């Protein structure tokens, strides 16, 4: 599993394209624009560009924009100051960042959850796509790490958010998937098995800042075994996610 993750990471690195830089020239409309030596509030201001002069925007890292002025001074400007500059059309530069008002109407969400599945530790990576404000489809991959067995499970399901306007949003979920469990090497007499599962759950997700949310959930699973009785497991997880 760890080797699989390492391979996945390398493939991800290889396929990530580097977006081409596109120069944008903006004119300073505030009395001055402060250029810092680094992309952070602690870095010192080493140069100011006066009103009426223009700067070229090179790149952006988190809330900081790297700009270069006519004199070749290259520095980092905060988003709040960039929003007061004018683009060539003569209007203020619009910085379209996701915020609180986008939470609930967003389409995509990717997150990491950690918790407990039937007494074993579980790590889950999930992605969801919202069909509308209330209903989203969700795919999750989980790694199960217990004292007696290891395993993986993959599920696909839907979540329903009754009130997408709230900052803290409860949701319901239902879905199905496949689980593969391998007993630990030190135990004998048990076999690796693959079964279908189905789940129903409740959870809550809350907006923190920017595109960042925390999420917790509780699910009840039914494992359709080939034995006389189905197995029932309880899962709870907590983690963080991004929406975009």
Partner 1 sequence: MENRIRILLLSAVVLAAGCSHMPWRKDAPEAEPPPPPEAGQAPVVIEPQVERREVKPAKIDTENWEAGIYVGSLSVEDFEVNPVFGARIAYHISEDFFAEAIAGTSDAGLSSFERLSGGAPLLTDSERQFTYYSLGFGWNALPGEIFLGGKHAYNSALYLTLGAGGTRFAGDDHFTLTAGAGVRVLLKDWLAVHLDMRDHVMEIDVLGSNKTSHNYEASLGVTAFF
Question: Which residue number, 89 or 226, has a Cβ lying nearer to partner 1?
Answer: 89
Q: Are 195 and 223 in contact (CB under 8 A)?
A: yes
The residues in 119-148 that bind partner 1, with binding defined as CB under 8 A, are 120-121, 123, 125, 143, 145-147
Q: Residue 123 Cβ, how far from partner 1 at the closest point, in Å?
A: 6
Q: Are 121 and 146 in contact (CB under 8 A)?
A: yes
The interface mask with partner 1, positions 102-121, x = CB under 8 A, is ----------x-x-----xx
Q: Which of 154, 184, 192, 227 binds partner 1 (CB under 8 A)?
A: 184
Question: Which residue number, 212 or 224, has a Cβ lying nearer to partner 1?
Answer: 212
12 binds partner 1 (CB under 8 A): yes
Beta-bridge mates of residue 54: 27
Q: Measure Cα distances from 167 to 105, 162, 240 in Å.
A: 12, 12, 15
Q: What string of DSSP letters covers 14-75?
A: HHPPPPPP--EEEE--SSEEEEESSSSTTSPEEEEEETT-EEEEEEEETTEEEEEETT--EE
Q: Residue 69 Cβ, how far from partner 1 at the closest point, in Å?
A: 16
Alpha helices in the chain (DSSP H): 2-15, 79-82
45 binds partner 1 (CB under 8 A): no
Query: Kind and range of the H or E element at 113?
Result: strand 108-117
Binding site for partner 1 (CB under 8 A): 1-3, 5-6, 9-10, 12-13, 16, 18-22, 24, 37-43, 57-66, 87, 89, 91, 93-96, 112, 114, 120-121, 123, 125, 143, 145-147, 150, 184-186, 209-212, 240, 242
């Amino acid at each position: 599993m760890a080797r699989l993750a390492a391979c996945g990471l390398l493939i991800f690195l290889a396929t990530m394209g580097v977006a081409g830089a596109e120069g944008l020239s903006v004119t300073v409309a505030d009395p001055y624009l402060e250029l810092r030596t680094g992309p952070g509030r602690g870095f010192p201001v080493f140069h100011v560009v006066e009103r009426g002069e223009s700067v070229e925007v090179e790149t952006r890292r988190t809330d900081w924009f790297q700009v270069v002025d006519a004199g070749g001074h290259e520095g980092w400007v905060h988003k709040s100051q960039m929003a007061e500059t004018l683009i060539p059309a003569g209007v203020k530069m619009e910085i379209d960042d996701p915020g609180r008002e986008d939470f609930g109407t967003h389409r995509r969400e990717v997150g990491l959850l950690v918790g407990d599945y039937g007494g074993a530790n579980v790590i889950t990576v999930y992605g969801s796509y919202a069909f509308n404000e209330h209903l989203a489809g969700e795919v999750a991959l989980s790694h199960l790490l217990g004292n007696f067995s290891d395993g993986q499970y993959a599920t696909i399901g839907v979540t329903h958010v009754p009130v997408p306007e709230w900052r803290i949003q409860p949701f319901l979920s239902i879905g199905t998937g496949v689980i593969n469990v391998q007993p630990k090497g030190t135990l004998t007499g048990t076999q690796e098995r693959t079964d279908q599962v189905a789940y129903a759950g409740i959870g809550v997700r809350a907006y923190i800042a920017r595109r960042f949310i925390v999420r917790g959930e509780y699910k009840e699973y039914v494992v359709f075994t080939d034995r006389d009785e189905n197995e029932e497991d309880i899962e709870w997880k907590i983690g963080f996610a991004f929406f975009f």
